[in-house]
């Protein structure tokens, strides 16, 4: 397959992110792009590496396992952004550089145990449910303060910030409210002494709103790699897909 469009897509999304930063009165250097390579094969990821990309978001542990094996020579940092079952903690502890979908105490415990065995520590973001949709994973906002406090016991988990998926709707005000809530939760946590500057929020369809609300990182799949060969229902099996 010809993936020469990757370079053009990458340049285009970086330009659009920079534009959104300027529109929000922010410096483009404050907002990173995490390319989301889920469903795309190792040959596509290899082309993205050739463009200078070295961090990739994946939604399923199985895909990290398959691709990391085939791309071991590329020095890729794999970032887990999808719902993570506790029994997959072992592979994540071995293969991921970061987990953005930490959303419950049992998962923290399981990751810590496996990371300890591997002798590793990783960066983590806590995924918060800012949408009222039943289907979205994430910690309820009210549970965040106690959860952040409890994570202090795990020296293998470097908590760096928060992550969310906004509600799937055409109403920009509702989407923006999700992003705003995440920023406010982060600011409150910083006031309580947690060093968690990062906000991972915004995807191909809604990143300008996320940047306006303070995203430090946007997770971009479709706008870089094109439409996915699988429907999003495959990734959000309980329905309720995020904006396109
Ligand atoms: C797939 C996915 C993205 C990227 O979505 P696009 O709309 O393709 O940019 C971002 N975050 C998570 C958690 C995802 O699963």
Centre of ligand 1 from the C-alpha of residue 177, in Å:
19
What count of other Cβ atoms lies within 10 Å of the Cβ of residue 230?
A: 10
In whole angstroms, give the CA distance from residue 211 to residue 216.
Answer: 7
DSSP at 35: E
Architecture (CATH level 2) of domain 5-230: Alpha-Beta Barrel (3.20)
Atom of ligand 1 nearest to the CA of 203: 9
Residue 101 Cβ contacting ligand 1 at under 6 Å: no
- Give tens-digit pLDDT for 220-236: 999 999 988 766 666 55
Q: Tell me: pLDDT of 148 over 50.
A: yes
Centre of ligand 1 from the C-alpha of residue 165, in Å:
9
Atom of ligand 1 nearest to the CA of 204: 9
Residue 240: the pLDDT is: 46
Name the closest-CA residue to atom 12, ligand 1: 81
Name the closest-CA residue to atom 4, ligand 1: 221
In whole angstroms, give the CA distance from residue 176 to residue 155.
Answer: 34
- Give tens-digit pLDDT for 84-102: 999 999 999 999 999 999 9
In whole angstroms, give the CA distance from residue 37 to residue 45.
Answer: 7
Q: List the chain domain ranges.
A: 5-230
């Amino acid at each position: 397959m010809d993936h020469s469009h990757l370079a053009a897509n990458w340049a285009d999304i970086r330009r659009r992110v920079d534009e959104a930063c300027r529109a929000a009165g922010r410096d483009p250097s404050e907002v990173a792009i995490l390319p989301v390579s889920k469903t795309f094969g190792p040959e596509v990821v290899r082309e993205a590496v050739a463009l200078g990309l070295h961090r990739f978001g994946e939604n399923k542990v199985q895909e990290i396992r398959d691709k990391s094996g085939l791309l071991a020579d590329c020095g890729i940092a794999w970032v887990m952004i999808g719902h993570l079952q506790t029994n997959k903690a072992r592979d994540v502890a071995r293969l991921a550089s970061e987990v953005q979908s930490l959303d419950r105490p049992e998962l923290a415990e399981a990751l810590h145990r496996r990371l300890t065995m591997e002798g590793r520590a990783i960066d983590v973001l806590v995924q918060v449910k800012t949408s009222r949709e039943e289907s979205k994973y994430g910690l309820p906002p009210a549970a965040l303060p106690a959860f952040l406090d409890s994570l202090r016991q795990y020296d293998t988990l470097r908590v760096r910030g928060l992550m969310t998926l906004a509600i799937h709707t055409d109403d920009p005000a509702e989407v923006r409210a999700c992003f705003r809530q995440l920023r406010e939760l982060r600011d409150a946590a910083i006031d309580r002494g947690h060093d968690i500057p990062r906000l991972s929020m915004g995807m191909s369809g809604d990143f300008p709103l996320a940047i306006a609300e303070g995203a430090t990182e946007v997770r971009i799949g479709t706008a870089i790699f094109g439409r996915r060969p699988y429907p999003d229902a495959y990734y959000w099996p309980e329905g309720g897909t995020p904006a396109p």
